[in-house]
């Protein structure tokens, strides 16, 4: 192999290693500072997420996939809530509040739901535009996994169990 090719391959290997390191760092980034306005008018902040494993789920009543995954989200919440798991549904800014309230009440969602009226929460969490988009946050308040679309619930459950076991 000539020297230029060896140099190019070495540089490529360093670039790939550097990219992998950045990915690992990004996967445990602190959840962004946000204030969630819940349907009852109360507020939760990102700081309130600490101490629990929480799935922050951006969704909309007009999103077919969101509506289809919601029973599995409820089941997941019910399975793990007593062990320290929480779920925070965040309705997108374009979702009419009356639709969100109606959906939440008629489906008897057992977890808290916020409405992102201004879009500032979706923006803070990485310019969320596609629904559903969910972020799994560990007890330290760090994002450990992002799901765009419906998660693989078996994989999600394994990860929740692993995170719940951490101290």
- In this prediction the pTM is 0.83
Please state the separation of Cα 124 from the chain's center in Å.
12
Q: Are residues 117 and 147 in the same domain?
A: yes
Q: Are residues 37 and 7 in the same domain?
A: no
Total domains present in the chain: 2
pLDDT (tens digit, 9 = 90+) per residue, 60-70? 999 999 999 99
Among 137, 112, 113, 111, smallest CA distance to 125 is for 137
Report residue 148 as tokens. 């765009």
Q: Are residues 12 and 84 in the same domain?
A: no
CA triplet 74, 79, 59: central angle to 5 degrees?
A: 25
pLDDT (tens digit, 9 = 90+) per residue, 6-56? 433 333 333 333 332 222 223 579 999 999 999 999 999 999 999 999 999
What confidence score (pLDDT) does residue 167 get? 80
Helices H / strands E in the chain, number of each: 5, 7
pLDDT (tens digit, 9 = 90+) per residue, 100-134? 999 999 999 999 999 999 999 999 999 999 999 99
Q: Are residues 78 and 149 in the same domain?
A: yes
Q: Are residues 74 and 153 in the same domain?
A: yes
Q: Are residues 19 and 91 in the same domain?
A: no
Q: Are residues 8 and 46 in the same domain?
A: no
Q: Are strands 112-115 and 85-91 parallel, antiparallel or unpaired?
A: parallel
């Amino acid at each position: 192999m000539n020297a230029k090719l060896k140099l190019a391959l070495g540089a490529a290997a360093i670039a790939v290693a550097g990219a992998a390191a950045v990915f690992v760092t990004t996967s445990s980034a602190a959840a962004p500072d946000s204030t969630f306005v819940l349907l009852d008018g109360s507020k939760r902040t990102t700081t309130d997420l600490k101490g629990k494993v929480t799935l922050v789920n951006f969704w909309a009543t007009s999103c077919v996939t969101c509506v289809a995954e919601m029973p599995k989200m409820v089941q997941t919440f019910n399975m793990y809530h007593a062990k320290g798991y929480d779920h925070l549904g965040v309705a997108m800014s374009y979702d009419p509040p009356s639709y969100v309230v109606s959906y939440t009440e008629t489906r008897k969602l057992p977890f808290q739901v916020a409405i992102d009226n201004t879009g500032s929460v979706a923006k803070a969490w990485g310019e969320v535009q596609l629904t559903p988009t969910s972020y799994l946050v560990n007890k330290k308040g760090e994002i450990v996994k992002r799901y765009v679309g419906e998660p693989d619930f078996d994989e999600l459950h394994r990860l929740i169990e692993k995170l719940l076991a951490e101290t």
